[in-house]
Amino acid sequence: MQIDLQKLKKEYQKIEHALSLPETLADRARYKKLAKRYSYLKDLIDLGDKREKFKEEKEQLKEMLEEETDQMKELAQSELEELNRKAALLEKKIENKLFEENEPERDLIIEIRAAAGGEESSLFAGDLYKMYSKYAEKNGWKIEVLSSHLTEIGGFKEIVFSLKGKKAFSRLKFESGVHRVQRVPATESGGRIHTSTVTVAVLVEPKEVELKISPDDLKIDTYRASGAGGQHVNVTDSAVRMTHLPTGVVVSCQDERSQIKNRAKALRVLKAKIMEKKMEEEASKVSKLRKTQVGSGQRSEKIRTYNFGEKRVTDHRINFTIYKLDQILEGNLDEIVGQLINAERKKIYENKGLV
């Protein structure tokens, strides 16, 4: 991918000067924005300088191949091959850095719901929650359960949790949709393979300035929590059901002993769902966005199958299959995520006429 090093360096110097000015130091928001851009430019310029150095070294090695003895040519050829390998890795780093600028750093709220398949579906909802939890741990992301409905056998009818951390959005934005599992259930004595489904919704948690909700637009009901276990279950009216009257969006939360805490968590989920609704409405109007998406991003779209008998995971949007089911469920999602990112970038290139 092409970058104008001289242009980047001029901007870098301009920001460096701005960061030293008293008026910039006094404006925390502006300083933070400039400092982030400054750090980004430094990384990109370093990569660009390295690319230029590689180009010079390649030219020198090509000259050696034309002029030197057979023994030196052999050495030069070996060095050129190694340099080409390093250059390819560098190009990937530059590509990642360029796309990184356009990827918003956003906190997420992920909702996992059991769908078709009864108890087996709720058990697999639990498996997916563990998978995402382990992936979050590997990446150093902070995870917080906002709402959950346990089943008697240890699965989830529904679990909603937030994720905070660098690149969480860019790596998990592809997970929305229907996840299908094919396996012999633990409760099945006949050994027959069952197919069950779980839905996943990845929501962007809106910032305060992006979405303000009037208290007059909310209907809040309280009731006694119910579910599998927990000392506070069925003791006080701590559970909260919150309805946004203009949109009809409804959420509930019963995990906390405190009604106030449940209200706060329910409001976070409610805002995320309202934001999702708005984003879907906007996306449907913008055809270019649809052209660059991997799949529709809708909850009703079947995106992935987990086949336990074959230890196979297939992502249907990009026709990618990997026979590492155990590793995937242990939170090793990078291989699948990497394929999805590449597919999205390819679509972007095609839409821009670059390939």
Please report the pLDDT score of residue 210 as a whole number. Answer: 66
pLDDT, position 103: 66
Please name the residue that has the structure tokens 């780093």: 93
Q: Are residues 96 and 114 in the same domain?
A: no
Same domain flag for 309 and 220: yes
Could you list the residue range(s) of the whole structural domain that residue 52 is in? 5-100
193 and 137 belong to one structural domain:
yes
Decide: pTM greater than 0.85. Answer: no
Count structural domains, the chain: 2
Residues 318 and 225 in one domain: yes
Query: Amino acid letter at 142?
Result: K
Q: Are residues 85 and 125 in the same domain?
A: no
**DSSP for residue 207:** -
Query: Which phi and psi (to 5°) does residue 164 adopt?
Result: -125, 130
Q: What local confidence, expressed as pLDDT, does residue 92 receive?
A: 81
pLDDT of residue 251: 86
Q: What is the pLDDT of residue 229?
A: 46
Q: What is the pLDDT of residue 78?
A: 86
The answer on 116 and 59 residing in a single domain is no
Instruction: Specify whether 72 is located in the same domain as 121.
Output: no
Based on the fold, state whether residues 75 and 129 are members of the same structural domain: no
Residues 56 and 118 in one domain: no
**Domain end point (choices 43, 68, 100):** 100
In a structure prediction context, what are the per-residue pLDDT tens digits for the chain, which is 355 residues long?
677 888 889 999 999 999 999 999 999 889 988 998 899 899 989 999 999 999 888 888 888 887 767 777 888 888 888 898 988 888 888 877 877 766 667 888 899 999 888 888 999 999 999 999 999 999 999 998 888 888 888 889 989 999 998 889 889 989 999 999 998 887 666 678 889 999 998 888 877 656 778 888 888 888 877 655 444 455 567 788 889 988 888 888 887 888 888 888 888 888 888 888 777 766 555 445 444 455 544 556 799 999 998 999 999 999 999 999 999 999 999 999 999 988 888 877 676 544 3
Asked which of 82, 100, 118 is the last residue of a domain, the reply is 100
**Residue 170 belongs to domain with CATH number:** 3.30.70.1660
Close Cβ partners of 136 (under 8 Å, ≥ 6 residues apart): 142, 143, 163, 165, 168, 331
So what's the pLDDT on residue 231? 44
Burial string for 36-75 (b: 16+ CB within 10 Å, else e) reads ebbebbeebbebbeebeebeeeeeebeebeeeeeeeeeee
Please report the pLDDT score of residue 128 as a whole number.
Answer: 95
